[in-house]
Structure 1
């Protein structure tokens, strides 16, 4: 059974949870072990009347600083333990002393880069981006420290001076895209408070300025290089909008042999080349950006092949994120683009971070997975990070652990807040060791186990043929279940498949992984690359839904919406907020659950499909879609409207609750029974037999046979 940690350092907390406490030790700084540098935590043991403490990670005895000494109670705990958050909570934050910083805290800088090539303008992507940027300026951190800059690019780069001495922004053109320079950096990056009106004015005029452009080339790499040169002294975030394959300048990409083969599948012998970066300049550029604390988010509003595998290198190394909207439609994707951008700047996020994971004796971190820069093996560097991103670490045994002891793990991340404070967030986990395999299986975390399988498979499929990766995933599951069958299960018939209670869904999720976009043979290269980029920093809570979505039957709820609405109104006092929408129970992903008069919704945290059966009544269709019959449904992307009736309000409430839970603005697609495109819906029903794999029942039989073969 693999041992790994899924770490989401800045995860959004439940409103009912106690906020992470901030502890200030002043100039002394947080208490740490002098040997392994672990931070003080509830699992360190104080001895000798509180004058010494034993490190729970390396076991060494430390002198307690005089000002921190406190007498111990009869139970051996410090008498003030309940009053000190660092001795009470596994998660705590320390104010970093000056010696933890090599320079002043960087300001929050947001540099917007916009592709204005012909395709970007013609598709409406440039206009949609301008509108979104204009609307999210109010969501940037408040205060005079927040700085902004803006540039556009096609075959050349156009910087815009937002200097307060100017009545309107002035364009500064850089035609040299092979040897980029930045004109007047001090005029480009300016305080948001001073530049807000001029930037709004500029964003309104950009679509008209480039409306007649015929320039098809795009110099994304050069534009990123130019923005980076302007940000070297400050660090910060670049938010780049790209609509075509970058074709000129630094980091330009060719269509490779994939231009006519953009639908290259895993069966093609050259697919591995297409999943790996093509350009030799982008990675060194990204590493230099990370060294200077510059992070890049890329919003890909493409309609054709854009070599996502190459572009994704930049956000991956700089701690950013890649958002893909292929194939982009301004009408249907404009809302998601705006909400993704808004959430990217509004969600809790931090700057210039360095993170290290420490383990107790006998254990060590072997590798990290996520979006970061790694200069030395022991630490990872994150120019930016947010509440949604996770880091996975794999852990290896180096020596036997003492029985009945505790295995401890500590993640410490030094970072800068958007208000300019340097802090250290520390998460400490202490788990009991055991010599009983049955106890190990009882305490197994299915979400963490599956996240390991998903992330390692996504990493391997870029460098190995897909079939060995699929086989390895199956063998991981088989080995776990074989170990349980051999050493933990009670004597029973060999004809039974014995599954541990905590991991009983492992075969189902393994099958779902085999049928996922990343390991299927019918996906376009760019779509697969975007999926792989998403998996790298995905949190544990979203790993399962990505491959095993939630399926909801909506028709019963919608038909009874009027009664539910009346009951809810009767239960809410005047002036009170109505309770959050309760989602229906999710169904198994099997076509056996479908009904001809049903409306079903399936969602994976990023996209949602609404499937309508042939016999759905005209009354319900009109209430929720404004259509008279199933025949009027035009399959494809659609925007959900809210009509003045209970069923429509109910459907909107359900979709909005899913969006709230996922922190994602789901793209919606409407499909109907009998239309060829409904295959998109049936592909999500992973428990059915399909071209991409066996049914769930067949897979269980296969897994059982593999276990029996191992048993001999």
Structure 2
């Protein structure tokens, strides 16, 4: 679009220090080393006009691909993504291949609008058909064995001796067979022909009341329940606002109150409301006291305030009037949220009892479940779970005390998270602090209850207000369920080895969540319990019991059939790098409390080398040892392993503990797509867009521009680049950028006139502005929120360091460049092939110089 006579590549922008490669380095052209971009774009092109059919035996679309799936009785990879779609038949083969058998399960992932919605099956009081032995639900793969008098459950059938393999069908499930030996109602029963099904469930599936806590965190004034199970009701919300001096003076409280009003009631005709119409809300303010409000009545336009002054002894001051429907009490709620910031404007309270506020939210929702959304800006130095300011954390890195930065300093926060999870309450936090708030401690409540954290340090309404509004809207509007219990089952021969994610694992190894939403995923790894038969399929079933936001109790079942193979080549053939990488980053993050960062880095590198060495040894043994041979599915694995070492939880050097712990919490629950985009940010050259790119064609479809590699080696001084890692979006402007490009994109013709605090692109009638805004709109629609937007100019703005650190192929973030790292991995594999040394031994990566 904008021609230049000269093309000058830039030197590496200012960045955090990296680690050089020591030793002889092969002369490799950076343009020739494997890149994920070509694979990602080729896969997207393949599935643009093709529907993915979910029957087993083929490679599904990548997690980064937008695709349409047709459920043929096997669940979509949108919900379950396997690290290999061909399961090794025995533990020896699995060990030889070194590919972990892992599933990334995202039970409520957003569907493509062109796909059929998940069917809802209501079998009345009998509930879903389940096996008497394994308690698994009926599976669509049994369609040819389901008849008018009996059916087989494939999850456990190998356990059953022949005479008891077949389970009798309930009378209500009786149906005759057709000439093909299929039930006449086969097509009318989604549970027999779909891989993902919702079941409406009867009373026996209602959430039980948890037993009394050994360490109660509040005094309950409610009567003892008269039944053993809770009646499902629409999800209620408690909004808790920090009204301490810092929250008020930074504008954090004002912004939060304004955004909540918009979410509840909309603004003019531009911002529609998005709050669930059947839900109720309660509002709580906290500093040195807890301030409840009776929203059912108002006096002189303001709801009465009920104060609990003792934050060490939490109780509810009222049993009625705290929860109301927002539509029915609009005036009281609007008046309160409008007056709250002004009421505390002259406050000199510097302390806020966050733990007590969370205990109060737990007390308010106990017995029915729901969600607590808290806005906090101050370290909780008083009340329940009070914390002392953290000593200088920089001196702890590289020592045995390093791991304590990732552990809670007060066990009360763990108790809070566990009690919220068992009560069916999810806790989400917006953190707008200017000093450390000890996320390792307070964040445990969100991690254990299935909630989410939003990190807005040094909150500034001008820069962070739009981000908070976008995140808050996504939190309320996305699919969210509560009072959840999840279990994953496998057919005979496999068993659960470990489970990773933000949940509380109960005594029976069930995963308990206060809330689960569309953006949350968990990871389950499997190991062999016995040999699998490669003439049959192996099966995985995920079942999550939940209460919908509208109050219906349901169970969502995902069923997956996988081929069993006996050759290493077949395992690698259908390996899935997206799922494998998502598992490996979760495993690495989970080791932060028990291992030092250098040890985690060594373990990641060792795993990378082992996988690539296994492929060379068992699938490409005839190739010369000097050749770098990579499996097709894992061509970019070294790059993603290196990127893991550069993300904030795992990178070297000094990173604030709050920053590490926030990103560790986030990575532990991201779906595979978000993980891949976070590890390898998407980067666009905006100055080189074609005239038709990102503009609607005659059919209204938009062709997105091609991505570029994350390295300064491919950037030019006249360029304008956009990079996006899901958490932050940065616009980098080269020092020689064309004035016409600046005019078309930012409405200025000189770099010096660019507003560095710009939070969004201006709406201009130019073609370039329209193209870029179309790209951003597509990403907003896909993920549901807008990340932070930052403009940085070459050699002018301090934020350029953050931009450069997102170029993961460069030498930065206390780690090597991609080229150097690839040389290191290749050297180790070559040594193992020529000398027979074990990569996992002391002569492996652990002895390599860094």
- Alpha-carbon distance in 2 for matches of 1:646, 1:45: 54
Give per-residue Cα distances to partners, 1:454-492, cap 9 Å, x unaligned: 100111123210111111111111111111110111511
Match for 1:688 among 800, 810, 815?
810
Give per-residue Cα distances to partners, 1:408-443, cap 9 Å, x unaligned: 000011111122111111000000101011111011
Match for 2:245 among 118, 122, 128?
118
- Alpha-carbon distance in 2 for matches of 1:197, 1:444: 57
Instruction: Pick 1 or 2: higher relative contact order, CA cutoff 8 A, min separation 6.
Output: 2
Match for 2:677 among 526, 538, 545?
545
- Alpha-carbon distance in 2 for matches of 1:431, 1:70: 29
Instruction: Check conservation: 1:164, 1:194, Cα contact below 8 A.
Output: no
- Alpha-carbon distance in 2 for matches of 1:141, 1:642: 28
Larger displacement relative to structure 2 (515-524 or 491-500):
515-524
Q: TM-score, normalised by structure 2?
A: 0.79
- Alpha-carbon distance in 2 for matches of 1:648, 1:264: 47
Number of the residue aligned with 2:285 = 152
Larger displacement relative to structure 2 (627-636 or 155-164):
627-636
Match for 2:186 among 81, 86, 98?
81
Give per-residue Cα distances to partners, 1:277-317, cap 9 Å, x unaligned: 11121111221222222211000011221111111101111
Report the aligned-residue RMSD: 2.0
Matches within 5 A, 1:514-553: 514-522=645-653, 523-553=655-685
Match for 1:708 among 814, 818, 830?
830
Larger displacement relative to structure 2 (216-225 or 648-657):
648-657
- Alpha-carbon distance in 1 for matches of 2:432, 2:785: 17
Residue 598 in 1 paired to residue 719 in 2? yes
Residue 346 in 1 paired to residue 480 in 2? no
Instruction: Structure 2: give runs of 5+ residues left out of the alignment.
Output: 1-98, 158-164, 207-228, 266-272, 837-850
**3-state SS of 1:230 partner:** helix
- Alpha-carbon distance in 1 for matches of 2:413, 2:621: 56
Residue 224 in 1 paired to residue 329 in 2? no
Query: Offset of 1:50 from its aligned partner?
Result: 4.1
Query: Offset of 1:637 from its aligned partner?
Result: 6.1
Number of the residue aligned with 1:575 = none
Number of the residue aligned with 1:275 = 406
Instruction: Check conservation: 1:119, 1:243, Cα contact below 8 A.
Output: yes
**3-state SS of 1:249 partner:** coil
Residue 647 in 1 paired to residue 768 in 2? yes
**3-state SS of 2:320 partner:** helix
Number of the residue aligned with 2:525 = 394
Match for 1:233 among 367, 370, 376?
367
Q: TM-score, normalised by structure 1?
A: 0.94
Number of the residue aligned with 1:330 = 461
How many pairs align?
A: 697
Instruction: Check conservation: 1:266, 1:521, Cα contact below 8 A.
Output: no
Instruction: Check conservation: 1:45, 1:54, Cα contact below 8 A.
Output: no
Instruction: Check conservation: 1:45, 1:55, Cα contact below 8 A.
Output: no
Shift of the 142–608 alpha-carbon distance from structure 1 to 2, 3 Å rule, reads: closer
Query: Offset of 1:233 from its aligned partner?
Result: 3.1
Shift of the 141–61 alpha-carbon distance from structure 1 to 2, 3 Å rule, reads: farther
Instruction: Check conservation: 1:121, 1:207, Cα contact below 8 A.
Output: yes
Query: Offset of 1:165 from its aligned partner?
Result: 6.4
Instruction: Structure 1: give runs of 5+ residues left out of the alignment.
Output: 573-577
- Alpha-carbon distance in 1 for matches of 2:746, 2:398: 40
Match for 1:58 among 152, 156, 168?
156
Query: Offset of 1:536 from its aligned partner?
Result: 1.3
Residue 13 in 1 paired to residue 135 in 2? no
**3-state SS of 2:540 partner:** strand
Shift of the 356–585 alpha-carbon distance from structure 1 to 2, 3 Å rule, reads: same
**3-state SS of 2:565 partner:** coil
Query: Offset of 1:8 from its aligned partner?
Result: 0.6
Larger displacement relative to structure 2 (164-173 or 67-76):
67-76
- Alpha-carbon distance in 1 for matches of 2:523, 2:345: 45
Instruction: Check conservation: 1:46, 1:54, Cα contact below 8 A.
Output: no
Match for 1:616 among 721, 724, 737?
737
Structure with the largest fraction of helix: 1
Number of the residue aligned with 1:679 = 801
Instruction: Check conservation: 2:427, 2:449, Cα contact below 8 A.
Output: yes
- Alpha-carbon distance in 1 for matches of 2:103, 2:462: 41
Instruction: Check conservation: 1:406, 1:433, Cα contact below 8 A.
Output: yes
- Alpha-carbon distance in 1 for matches of 2:561, 2:513: 26
